[in-house]
Amino acid sequence: MGTCTSHDVEIDFRTNLKKLPLDIPISEKILNRRRGGVPMLSDLSSFIKESTEDFEKTSQPKEYIEQKIQELEHKVDLVSKIDCWDMNIFEISDLSEDHPICCVGMYLLKSHGLIEEFGLNTTCLSMFLYEVQRNYWSINLYHNATHAADVAQSMNILLTRCPFLSENVTKVDYFACILAALCHDLNHPGVNQKFLRNTDHIIVSTYQASPLENFHAARAHTLLKSSGLIKHLDDDVQKEIYTIINHLILATDMEQHRTYMEKFNVCVATGLNMKDKKTKILTLCIAIKCADISNGCRPWIVCKSWAENIMGEFFIQGDIEKEMELPISPLCNREQEKIPQSQVGFINYVLLPLFECWQNAVNCEVIGEAIAYLKSNRETWNTL
């Protein structure tokens, strides 16, 4: 599964953690481009400081942050929406004062009884979620905390409303899946792997296979470990949580999409045996892949906003590639690309085959709803 075994990943963590860059050198270029005429910030750390100033203005930050997250949680009413494709994550982001990960993460873990189940320290959990939130770059039009919270909510829909999964997924699985979804794009630089390869970026020299996803997984490992959130759990439970997180984050590499689909199709053809550990992890990998690219399974207004955000991020990459005289990556040329056509292509060639394959395997109402949204959104894109 994926390109690394969990053992390889653990070795990677040990040998490479110290080398991992937090402030990725291309950030200044991207910041400049995104902020347009607005005064620019010269480095990411000052940007992070500015964006979290409100949370940091107390002399007792841990308690302050815990209390602040509780207040935001009450303000953001997730109860009736959390299990539905028609939840608007952009509204949740606004209501939570741009802290969707803190609110969605806390709500999902609390409402599934995981705090009691695993004896989690709520201060540790608040700090962990806050750090995850802080490690997404809000300057990214797409790969930001709102996307991560959206993937966690989508993952929750699949894990709780699809009986095949809910009957086979343990509390440990659910916990690890939500953590993986929240962390799956940590510190995303807002450019793709092709760009990083073409610029000989340190992430690419650190990890040969799935460099970005390995980077996100390493960041997830670091934040989870340093938070101390699960350090009191038995070693084998901790190991299982880290293993699931690693596998799921690596599975979000779209360059490996075909490989995952081929493996999953083989498993589906012979009957998905969730008692087999490898099959179960592969199934959860397919679930996070669905969650990660599920923007088209939402009501039109949400689907359209996401499409504009991702294409906007691609176009900024294309602009930088042009400036740097690099080949412009597919979908990144703002002068040639047509958003409606590219969305229809993505629905036809990636999303529908993925969700239909998933439906063949698990057959449930909630996937049927997702497919209906995909078809209806495709119709609308076709009229534009």
Q: Of 108 and 249, which CB lies nearer to Zn ion in the complex structure?
A: 249
Give residues with Cβ within 8 angstroms of 44, minimum separation 6: 22, 23, 24, 27, 31, 137
Q: Tell me if 132 sits within 8 A of 186, measured CB to CB.
A: yes
143 is in an annotated binding site: yes
CA terminus-to-terminus distance, the chain:
39
168 is in an annotated binding site: no
Rounded to a whole number of angstroms, the minimum distance from the CB of residue 317 to Zn ion is 15
Q: Which stretch binds Zn ion (CB under 5 A): 89-97, 171-179, 271-279, 288-296?
A: 288-296
- In whole angstroms, give the CA distance from residue 265 to residue 259: 10
150 is in an annotated binding site: no
220 is in an annotated binding site: no
Rounded to a whole number of angstroms, the minimum distance from the CB of residue 147 to Zn ion is 6
Rounded to a whole number of angstroms, the minimum distance from the CB of residue 273 to Zn ion is 28
Angstrom CA distances, 179 to 62, 159, 223, 279, 321, stand at 20, 13, 11, 20, 33
Q: Tell me if 310 sits within 8 A of 346, measured CB to CB.
A: no
Q: Tell me if 103 sits within 8 A of 73, measured CB to CB.
A: yes
Q: Which stretch binds Zn ion (CB under 5 A): 61-69, 175-183, 292-300, 318-326?
A: 292-300
Q: Of 98 and 213, which CB lies nearer to Zn ion in the complex structure?
A: 213
User: In the range 323-382, which residues lie near Zn ion by CB under 5 A?
Assistant: none
206 is in an annotated binding site: no
Rounded to a whole number of angstroms, the minimum distance from the CB of residue 223 to Zn ion is 17
Q: Which stretch binds Zn ion (CB under 5 A): 54-62, 70-78, 99-107, 285-293?
A: 285-293
- In whole angstroms, give the CA distance from residue 102 to residue 32: 28
Q: Of 98 and 185, which CB lies nearer to Zn ion in the complex structure?
A: 185
Residue 301 CA neighbour count, 13 Å, CB half: 6
Rounded to a whole number of angstroms, the minimum distance from the CB of residue 336 to Zn ion is 25
Give residues with Cβ within 8 angstroms of 60, minimum separation 6: none
* Total residues in contact with Zn ion, by rule CB under 5 A: 2
Where b means 16+ CB within 10 Å and e means fewer, 277-313 reads eebbbbbbbbbbbbbbbbbbbbeeebbbbbbebbbbb
176 is in an annotated binding site: no
Which entry of 7, 74, 112, 143 is annotated as an active-site residue? Answer: 143
Rounded to a whole number of angstroms, the minimum distance from the CB of residue 181 to Zn ion is 9
CA 66, 70, 71, 76 torsion-angle sign: positive
- In whole angstroms, give the CA distance from residue 156 to residue 39: 39
Q: Which stretch binds Zn ion (CB under 5 A): 133-141, 168-176, 284-292, 294-302?
A: 284-292
Q: Per-residue x/- mask for Zn ion, residues 176 to 215, rule CB under 5 A?
A: ---------x------------------------------
Burial class (CB in 10 A: 0-12, 13-18, 19+), 124: middle
Q: Per-residue x/- mask for Zn ion, residues 250 to 279, rule CB under 5 A?
A: ------------------------------
Name the nearest CA neighbour of 252 among 337, 112, 147, 375: 147
User: In the range 103-122, which residues lie near Zn ion by CB under 5 A?
Assistant: none
Q: Figure out which of the listed residues 98, 150, 213, 292 binds Zn ion, where binding follows CB under 5 A.
A: 292
319 is in an annotated binding site: no
Rounded to a whole number of angstroms, the minimum distance from the CB of residue 73 to Zn ion is 24
* Residue 99 is among the residues annotated as catalytic for this protein: no
- In whole angstroms, give the CA distance from residue 183 to residue 252: 11
370 is in an annotated binding site: no
Q: Of 55 and 314, which CB lies nearer to Zn ion in the complex structure?
A: 314
343 is in an annotated binding site: yes
Name the nearest CA neighbour of 83 among 52, 111, 106: 111
For the annotated binding site for Zn(2+), the residues are 147, 184-185, 292
For the annotated binding site, the residues are 143-147, 184-185, 292, 343
The residues that touch Zn ion, with contacts defined as CB under 5 A, are: 185, 292
For the annotated binding site for AMP, the residues are 143-147, 185, 292, 343
Q: Which residues are catalytic?
A: 143
